[in-house]
Each structure stands twice: as C-alpha cells, then as structure tokens.
A and B are shown apart, each in its own frame.
Chain A
Amino acid sequence: MKMEDMSLSGLDNSKLEAIAQELYADLVEDSCLGFCFEVHRAVKCGYFFLDDTDPDSMKDFEIVDQPGLDIFGQVFNQWKSKECVCPNCSRSIAASRFAPHLEKCLGMGRNSSRIANRRIANSNNMNKSESDQEDNDDINDNDWSYGSEKKAKKRKSDKLWYLPFQNPNSPRRSKSLKHKNGELSNSDPFKYNNSTGISYETLGPEELRSLLTTQCGVISEHTKKMCTRSLRCPQHTDEQRRTVRIYFLGPSAVLPEVESSLDNDSFDMTDSQALISRLQWDGSSDLSPSDSGSSKTSENQGWGLGTNSSESRKTKKKKSHLSLVGTASGLGSNKKKKPKPPAPPTPSIYDDIN
C-alpha cells in the first residue's frame, strides 16, 4: 500500500461523505448476507422450523386448569381407592398397600425371611426352655457362665419376639415410644405381634424371677401381659416396676437395682461399711433381702459398679433411690448385653462375706 496515494486530507467533504456512505452500505450488505447464510443453512440442515409446533400437539400439552386435576390433567388420589386382587391369597388389597402385602404373602423379600427365621429360632428355644429350667438351677453354681449364657440368649430372643407391637425390621419402630402410659401403644394388626408381652400366668416362679431381673415386667392393663422391654423402659415408671415385683415375688422382692442397696445394708455387719456410706440411698432399707438368685446378680452389679455410680451421683441432689436405681439399672442393662460377666464372681463374694 503506497502511503502517497492515500492522502485523504486532500479530498473534499463530499467525497469523504460518499466514501462514508459506501462503507456504510458495505456494512449493511455484509450483515444481510450473513443473515442469509444463517437462514439458508438452517433450512438445509433442517432446523429452521424447530421452534414451531403444529396446533395438534399444542392442544395435547395445553395446561389444564380444572378443579381436582393437576396441570397435566391427572387426578390426585386416583390410586387410593383402587384395589388389586392378590394372586397368592386372592384377597382384595388396596393399591398402596399391595407391595408390602405381597412381600409378606409370598414369603419372599428381606423382612419375611428374617421374621420366619426368628420364629423358627424362637419356637426351638421355647421347646428347649421348659426342659432346661431345672438344669439351670442345678448347675447355677458350678457352670454359671454356661447357664447364664443360655439364659441370656433365650431372653434376648424372647425379647425380640415379644416386643410390644414393634417389628424391628420395619422402619416404624420409633412411633411406639410416644405413648408413655402403662398401656401398650399402637394397635397394630400384623400377625407377628399377637403376643405383645409375656403372659405371667404361664411362667413359673423361677422364670418370673429371672425375667424380672432383666426386663421391665410391668403388666399392661389392656393385655394383662408383662412388658418385655429393658429395666429402663420409658413406658413404665420404676414405681410400676416395683409394684409388679412386689406382687409377684412377695413384699420382699423389689427392683434389682434397689436390691443392691438392700444387700449392702444387710452386710453392714461385715465389711461393707464403706460401701454403704457410698451407696447411701435410702428409702428401701426397710425391705429385707430377696431371694438368692436375683439378689446375687443384682447385688453384684451394685457392688461392682457401686463406686462409680455413687461417686458420680454424690454431687447431685438426692431425689430418691429411684435415681440410683436408674443408674444402676442403666449400668445393669449395659452388662446385660454380655453374657453376665459380673455373674461369675458373685458366689465367691457371697461366700467371703458370709
């Protein structure tokens, strides 16, 4: 490009203007051409008309504005009233309950097999338990651990079996905690839960005693059965538990946790003065020590853990013995999970003291 030729300053305004106009025209033409190319390409590639829809399909997807329908025109609770016939049992089941019913009806699926297995295990245990009652008593002193293991296992399976309206496999467990009376909650129609607790008439005194040391045992007003939850079950108060124990085991029997303090009081004569001063909750001191079986275990629990509980509770206000009972039972319930490890030394302590 020769610079000498480009002397625009020498040009007059009209020529400048003409040049400007030409440039402008060029620009506009360029844009138009660009637009043409775009349209042409869209047409040839087939996406020119993509945004359009024919009126038929427009009608299909129109927004529905009628009462009772959503914007797609679907009915809200259409499936609530529908019923399906179960192919297995030929019953008419509501649609929303059909899937769980089928799972149980056919016996397939995780829950059904779990429950069936438990039932089998429980029925085996129940068959064995009656024959083993006496054996357990006899071998209590010698083979304590063996007997206690069997007991503990059986009790645990019983507990699972007899959980009041609680199917541990279902996600609805927490709901039953809402009712805190002496009565059981949720009227659940499921067939597994026909025995929500233990019927105490069928139990012998030994069984009762053993049950009461580990389970709540409060008798429900409605079903006349004993509660099989832990000693600290929130549905029942300690008063209720004490009442039940007194009722069953005589006025001498009380809550296992309280027995620890009782036994300690009775050991005053020997060398438990220090223990007594530590565990100095009262109220139940007028009650004499209960039967050997339950007192041994519970006493040992109090013994072994008395220091911990008393030291931790010393600073707190002395509400009533129940608070200690709570702790001891809490500690006791912890112990329950293992096959009674504190149990073995109990006879020896007893022997020493006596």
Chain B
Amino acid sequence: MNKDTQMRAAINHKLIETGERECLKEALRAKCGCKDQLQAHWEEVIKEKGLEHVTVDDLEAEVTPKGRALVPDGVKKELLRRIRTFLTQHASL
C-alpha cells in the first residue's frame, strides 16, 4: 500500500507539475454542460431549505454523485485516454 500511495502521490505530483491536471480539469468543465442543470436543481433545493441552512457538506454530498453521473460518456472516455497517455509517457520516469 505504501508503494501504491507513494506512486499515486508521485503521479499526482507529476500531473500537477506538467500542468496536465489543470488541462484535464478545464476540459472537463468545458465539455460538461451539467453545470446549468445542477444550478437549477440547486435553486429549488435552496428554496426549500432556506438560504440560511445551506452548508458545504450538504452540497457536496448531493453534488458529487450527481456530478459524476452527469458527465457524458464521451467526455469521460476522452479524459481517461488522456490520463493513460500521460501515464505511459511518464512511465520511464
């Protein structure tokens, strides 16, 4: 496990260093049109709950699974491909 975590940490680090992570994030955001849907959904939720009672935890708990589900397949595949490419590129490192 240690090795794995270390390895993951290393890979992450590499991703960030090269700026690849940012690129991937941007790609995800751009291609994912789910933000508007999420926002509309949120407006209803907040109206029900009231503005005062909204917390980050609640939001996160709700948004994450929804967000994951809403990512279109094509976008998901594209991202995975890019990650794999990145990994193979840096395999020798």
- A, B bound: yes
Chain B residues close to A by CB (< 8 Å): 3, 6-8, 10-13, 15, 21, 24-25, 28-29, 32, 35, 38-39, 42-43, 46, 51, 54-56, 59-60, 63-64, 66-68, 71, 76, 79-80, 83-84, 87-88, 90-93
Complex contact B28–A40 (CB within 8 A): no
Among A20, A33, A35, A44, which residue has its beta carbon within 8 angstroms of that of B87? A20
Q: List 13 A-B contacts (CB under 8 A).
A: A5-B3, A5-B6, A8-B93, A9-B91, A19-B7, A24-B83, A27-B24, A29-B67, A33-B60, A33-B63, A35-B67, A40-B59, A49-B43
Q: How far is the CA of A44 from the CA of B50 in the complex (A)?
A: 11
Kindly state whether residue A64 has any CB partner on chain B within 8 Å: no
Nearest chain A CB to B82's CB is how many angstroms away? 9
Report if A16-B35 is in contact (Cβ < 8 Å); known contacts: A28-B67, A31-B67. no
Kindly state whether residue A21 has any CB partner on chain B within 8 Å: yes
Kindly state whether residue A6 has any CB partner on chain B within 8 Å: yes
Residues of B with C-beta under 8 A to A3: 93
Kindly state whether residue A37 has any CB partner on chain B within 8 Å: yes
Complex contact B25–A23 (CB within 8 A): no
Main secondary structure of the interface of A (DSSP, over half): helix
Complex contact B29–A31 (CB within 8 A): yes
Q: List 7 extra interface pairs beyond A8-B90, A27-B28, CB under 8 A.
A: A3-B93, A19-B11, A19-B87, A24-B80, A29-B67, A33-B63, A36-B60
Nearest chain A CB to B78's CB is how many angstroms away? 10
Complex contact A27–B21 (CB within 8 A): yes
Residues of A with C-beta under 8 A to B63: 32-33, 35-36
Kindly state whether residue A48 has any CB partner on chain B within 8 Å: yes
Residues of B with C-beta under 8 A to A89: none
Among A5, A8, A29, A39, which residue has its beta carbon within 8 angstroms of that of B64? A29
How many residues of A are counted as interface, with CB atoms below 8 angstroms from the partner's CB atoms? 35
Q: How far is the CA of A337 from the CA of B12 in the complex (A)?
A: 93
Complex contact B92–A35 (CB within 8 A): no
Complex contact B84–A16 (CB within 8 A): yes
Report if A9-B92 is in contact (Cβ < 8 Å); known contacts: A27-B21, A39-B42. yes
Residues of B with C-beta under 8 A to A26: 12
Residues of A with C-beta under 8 A to B80: 20-21, 24
Kindly state whether residue A83 has any CB partner on chain B within 8 Å: no
Residues of A with C-beta under 8 A to B76: 24
Complex contact B64–A32 (CB within 8 A): yes
Complex contact A8–B3 (CB within 8 A): no
Report if A31-B13 is in contact (Cβ < 8 Å); known contacts: A36-B63, A48-B46. no
Residues of A with C-beta under 8 A to B71: 28
Among B7, B32, B68, which residue has its beta carbon within 8 angstroms of that of A5? B7
Q: How far is the CA of A36 from the CA of B80 in the complex (A)?
A: 24
